[in-house]
Chain A
Amino acid sequence: MSLKDRPPVDKQSGTLPRSQMQPDHQESTRPERVGSLTAQQGSLMHTEVMSLNVGPQHPSTHGVLRLVVDMDGEYVIKVTPHMGYLHTGFEKTFEHRTYQQGVTYAPRTDYLHSFGHELAYVLGVEKLMQAEVPERATTVRVILHELGRIHSHLVFLGTALMDLGAITLFFYCFREKEAVQDLFEEVCGYRMNQGYFRVGGLSRDIPDGWADNVQKFVDSFDKHVDEYASMFATNPIFLDRAVGVGVIPADVAIDLGLTGPNLRASGVPLDHRKANPYCGYDSYDFDVPVSQAGDSQARFVLRLDELRESAKIVRQALKRLKPGPVKDPNRKISLPPRHELETSMEAVIHHFKLVTEGFHPPLGEVYVPVETARGEVGYYIISDGGSMPYRVKIRAPSFVNLQALEYACVGGQFADLITVLATIDPVLGDVDR
């Protein structure tokens, strides 16, 4: 049953029109006696709007999100999200850490595509400092940024389909997700919350043989994506639950401020890698998948296509990987190499100043948008000339995307709410920050 076939919800009273109730509610089909009730007692039975609490600890909320759902029978008439369970005050914390220390906090917001937040923060501070990032560092950033997108979309595919009852794909997706996390661990020591980028480059160079491992992974990856597609894309049960469910038209998506795959699934081809290229994305050859349907199935399939495009970008970036420095040579930004500390007094002074105090960007306010797996991430950074930001505002895509839930679920059944919530793909760390 598609959304169009469903009875419209009266927005004023918030209930379904009585005349359009399901057939089993009609008097004619009701039996004379209901159990031990007489017909008169049975007529006293009535329907009323029920409030159903979902979460905060519920597997399908993908984190700690609480929804209060007002329901008329099986139909959702109002959804009220309550968030803030993961609010840890990152924006306030940024104001009391140096710019370089802020790299630690940025990836902890969106823990599934950490490199996206890291990159957005680092690019913002680099714009403030006018730092020059070496080419090798930029290429490694692109590789990790796209591997992060693959990581995030794999978690999305596995968990979202598990919400729909398809458990098998979860294990296949997490097999590759583990492989990506192994690559992260090799390069920076952490499987999540990496904190690998630095203002002006990377914290250290990639280890020997890492590029070969990435090459091996992306070479076999397209085959795996086909495997995922064969497991759910034409499954009639999946199509029944996803096609036409939670439709968000393009104008509504723009009005609600959606970005990322959710917006592109509604037919708006906005991708900051193409629109406002950063890290040299304009020199890579890749497509931006766009779908016109705007329903849950489009959001599923679009992310599947993005996996292939990300692997394509990684393959191109690996070809460009040339030996070279990975840090801005400016000693006022990057730490001096270890061997210089033994011979150069200036290096010791720079090291001391950078570690104890940090660098001082000039006064100004910057914003650099970055396309992550969830949409536009940007850090509005205000500098007052000190070594710590005066104010950092995170443009969190999950937070804004979550507003579509209230729009897309109304009029649908409760089971569709789970589908819509899964395909909007919020990360609660990103919502609450």
Chain B
Amino acid sequence: MDALGGKDQVVFTVGGGATETPAMARPDPVAQLVQTLGLKAEDAAEPTALVTAGDLEAVAGKLKTAGFMLMDVVGVDYGAYVQPRPQRFSVLYNVYHPYDHRRLFLRVWLRDGESLPSLFPVWKSANYLEREVYDLMGVVFDNHPDLRKILTPDDLEGHPLRKDFPIEETPTLFRDGRFIDPPTFRAGMTGQSAGLTGWRGSLRKGGTREMEPPVMPEGGPK
């Protein structure tokens, strides 16, 4: 067993046998950490502490000074959850100490339309992670240097991971100006009906007759 760095640094065994980390030697160091930060621990399977949006930057600054890194930012919409929750949205910050292997989740509750301070000044890794939460969950992070959509297309409206985002098929606008709805398209592909695609799978087998070009129905797309 060799310690790399100071006394609070990694204890890293190479070879067989159980790895002894300080996390196993001390009785629940994460609970101590939560107490030191003056936070309220949540009764959960993973060590979770509740933070208010106002305290978030200060708490994150302390954790950064203690050597923690920001692993992930999780946005959750509890709008359809079975149990009542304090607010509709929750943002979880997954922080981890790369040397003594403590993990802590910071939870912030917020209403729809509320914003959070960006943690980009504290951890550079918050850049993409907050952009992802903004894109998919619609939580706005104040003072983020570059808060743009990151995963979804620019023309998609709404935030797909919200529980009220509809899951449905949408008619597709083709380049020649036709709107084709997915059921019609599928029907055309399987040869049941030419539909608006103008292409019949059954006619492809040896059929020589040219299909009529599709036309827009009266009154626009259905």
Contact = CB atoms under 8 A, between A and B. Distances in A.
Interface of A: 83-84, 87, 89, 91-92, 96, 127-128, 252, 254-257, 259, 263, 268-270, 274-277, 282-285, 287-288, 363-367, 369, 376, 378, 380, 382, 384-386, 390-391, 393, 395, 399-400, 402-403, 407, 432-433
15 contacts: A91-B136, A92-B165, A92-B167, A257-B125, A268-B98, A270-B98, A274-B19, A275-B19, A288-B14, A365-B44, A366-B46, A393-B72, A393-B75, A395-B71, A403-B125
B215 interface: no
B124 A255 contact: yes
Contacts of B77: 391
Contacts of A128: 45
B72 A365 contact: no
Interface in B59-109: 67, 69-72, 74-77, 80-83, 92, 94, 96, 98-99, 101, 103, 105
Contact of A256 (B14, B74, B98, B124): B124
Nearest to A269: B12
Interface in B164-214: 165, 167
Given A255-B124, A367-B94, A274 B13 contact: yes
Contacts of B134: none
Contacts of B69: 254-255, 257
Given A254-B98, A277-B19, A364-B45, 19 more contacts: A87-B152, A91-B136, A257-B123, A269-B12, A270-B98, A283-B18, A285-B15, A288-B14, A365-B44, A365-B45, A380-B94, A384-B81, A385-B82, A391-B77, A393-B75, A395-B94, A400-B71, A400-B125, A433-B151
B150 interface: yes
Nearest to B75: A393
B37 interface: no
A96 to B, nearest CB: 7
Given A288-B14, A367-B46, A380-B92, A92 B125 contact: no
B71 A257 contact: yes
B81 A390 contact: yes
Contacts of A255: 69, 123-125
B45 A127 contact: yes
Nearest to B17: A282
B53 interface: no
Residue of A87, A257, A364, A378 with most chain B CB atoms under a 10 A cut-off: A257
Contacts of B4: 269
A263 B15 CA distance: 21
A75 to B, nearest CB: 22
Contacts of B136: 91
A252 B19 CA distance: 27
Given A87-B152, A378-B72, A393-B72, A403 B127 contact: yes
Nearest to B153: A84
Given A127-B45, A391-B76, A393-B72, A282 B125 contact: no
A127 B14 CA distance: 27
Contacts of A432: 151
Contacts of A376: 71, 96
A407 to B, nearest CB: 8
Contacts of A400: 71-72, 125, 128-129
Contacts of A92: 160-161, 165, 167
Contacts of A96: 167
Nearest to A273: B19
Interface string B23-58: 000000000000000000000111010000000000
B139 to A, nearest CB: 13
A142 to B, nearest CB: 15
B102 to A, nearest CB: 10
Contacts of B45: 127-128, 364-366
Nearest to B165: A92
B152 A84 contact: yes
A284 B44 CA distance: 31
A364 B81 CA distance: 12
A365 B80 CA distance: 16
Interface in B145-159: 149-153
A7 to B, nearest CB: 24
B10 interface: yes
A96 B132 CA distance: 21
Residue of A276, A369, A391, A403 with most chain B CB atoms under a 10 A cut-off: A391
A384 B78 CA distance: 10
Nearest to B4: A269
B153 A284 contact: no
Contacts of A366: 45-46
Contacts of B125: 255-257, 400, 403
A168 to B, nearest CB: 34
A403 B81 CA distance: 33
